[in-house]
Amino acid sequence: MNQDIAISVEGISKKFPTNLRRSMFYGAQDVARDFLGLPTQSDKLRKDEFWAVRDVSFELKRGDTLGIVGPNGSGKSTLLKMLNGIIKPDKGSIRVRGRVGALIEVGAGFHPMLTGRENIYINGAILGMSRSEINRKFDSIVSFADIGDFLDMPVKNYSSGMYVRLGFAVAAHSSPDILLVDEVLAVGDVAFQKKCFQYIENDILKKGVVLCLVSHNIYTVARLCSRAILLNHGTARYIGESSGVVSMYYQAMRSSTDEVQENKFLTQRLGAGEVRVTSVEMMDELGREIDVVKVGSFVGFKFQLHAVREMAFVPQSSLKISDQSGTIIVYSRIPNQIREKMTLKEGINVLTCSFYAFNLIPGKYVLEIKIGGVGDLVQDIIHNAKIFDVVAPGHVHESTGNAGVVYIANEWKME
């Protein structure tokens, strides 16, 4: 392996069973084969298995930064876990040279009954730090994590944001040669996210550390990473310069949306499934289906729902609209006093949400629909239910540099 190459990935693939019973059976089978010295890698699917990652290859040299992007369920976290050695590929090989620091799951490597102070030493040791090294960096870790008076409290009482802050602080201070970061950073507050990215840019990348970053924020990837991989259905659709991944990413998102519309994923989505979204449409004021919205105009979202039984009222439902950076711009849910007057019949039902003045800045947006609880069970979630464009009408000139979140009509004059 070339000394300049930190990570070499050759044709790796990973498959998973679609149900728990098969997972336990195949897991025991693989452990037994491994114990007997028999090969466990295979390029064939067994019953009820699917490829989470399929035939991915790349190399990263010292100082390279790699962004891993793709729609939900595309294999991003699975790839990162294979790079970290948490799971083994079913086919192919991974060679890593150097100390690895990883932040893949919230609270991973923490003992819930121990304090934050104790977990710093345990997690640091897991990441290869000596006790003297941890002692030397302890104050800096605590200061960066900003957990204050909670340092000597059991971490089981920490919020998810506190978990992330402490986990990232330890991983970043372990002086890794390779840093693996999953989208868990999205759990932290905005101020901490900014602090993390500044630390990555100013302290980690300038030292030549290899960074592998999983994120839904495509523009963060374009900003921080020199290279990018776009995964879709476990397959690498793009490997190259990060600047070229933006358009490919949104093409993949549109493809994912189209497949949802064609009902191809109805049996694979999360949720209890008593109510499913079977189609999503965007309409103008005349009820015509559209893919583009003009600033300030009417837009309606129509959701076709399939219920397996009659229900006295509609489950709590909501929609989110996010911009290209992943920031939630619009959130709307059905008010309880209205929801409880709605009924669901067995079979097909139609739910609509209308906006009478859609004053978002011109750009590309992503719609998410969530059908909430019946007996506290989420029924259905589609993260990329619709990807659409907001364009400028005649009185809004994009060339004037409008920016921000919403458009408010304005006029400039010189007296």
Residues 247 and 389 in one domain: no
Residues 135 and 226 in one domain: yes
CA atoms of 310 and 331, how far apart (whole Å): 27
Give the pLDDT score at 286.
93
DSSP classification of residue 200:
I
Residues 364 and 386 in one domain: yes
Q: End of a domain among 199, 226, 254?
A: 254
What's the start-to-end Cα distance of the chain, in Å?
70
Cα distances (angstroms) measured from residue 36 to each of 22, 39, 125, 377: 21, 9, 32, 43
CA atoms of 76 and 181, how far apart (whole Å): 11
Residues 124 and 149 in one domain: yes
Helices and strands of the chain, counted as H and E runs:
9, 17
Give the pLDDT score at 264.
38
Structural tokens at position 1: 């392996």
Number of domains into which the chain is organized: 2
Structural tokens at position 221: 């990837």
Residues 250 and 269 in one domain: no
The CATH number that applies at residue 64 is: 3.40.50.300
Hey, how many other C-beta atoms are within 10 angstroms of the C-beta on 409? Answer: 9
Q: Tell me, yes or no, whether 12 lies in a domain.
A: yes
CA atoms of 391 and 394, how far apart (whole Å): 10
Domain that holds residue 26: 5-254
Give the pLDDT score at 400.
43
CA atoms of 299 and 353, how far apart (whole Å): 9
Q: Tell me, yes or no, whether 221 lies in a domain.
A: yes
What amino acid is encoded at 194 in this protein? K
Hey, how many other C-beta atoms are within 10 angstroms of the C-beta on 392? Answer: 17
CA atoms of 115 and 125, how far apart (whole Å): 15
CA atoms of 148 and 127, how far apart (whole Å): 23
Q: Are 72 and 383 in contact (CB under 8 A)?
A: yes
Consecutive H or E run containing 161: helix 160-172
Going by pLDDT thresholds of 50, 70 and 90, the confidence category of residue 257 is low
Q: Tell me, yes or no, whether 414 lies in a domain.
A: no
What amino acid is encoded at 398 in this protein? E
Residue 209 has phi, psi (to 5 degrees) of: -70, 140
Give residue-wise pLDDT tens across range 265-295. 344 456 677 888 888 999 999 999 998 999 9
Pick from 160-174, 183-197, 378-392: least confident: 183-197
Give residue-wise pLDDT tens across range 122-151. 888 888 889 999 999 999 888 888 887 888
Could you tell me the strand order of the sheet in which 299-307 lies?
Answer: 275-283, 299-307, 347-355
Going by pLDDT thresholds of 50, 70 and 90, the confidence category of residue 50 is confident
Q: Are 121 and 134 in contact (CB under 8 A)?
A: yes
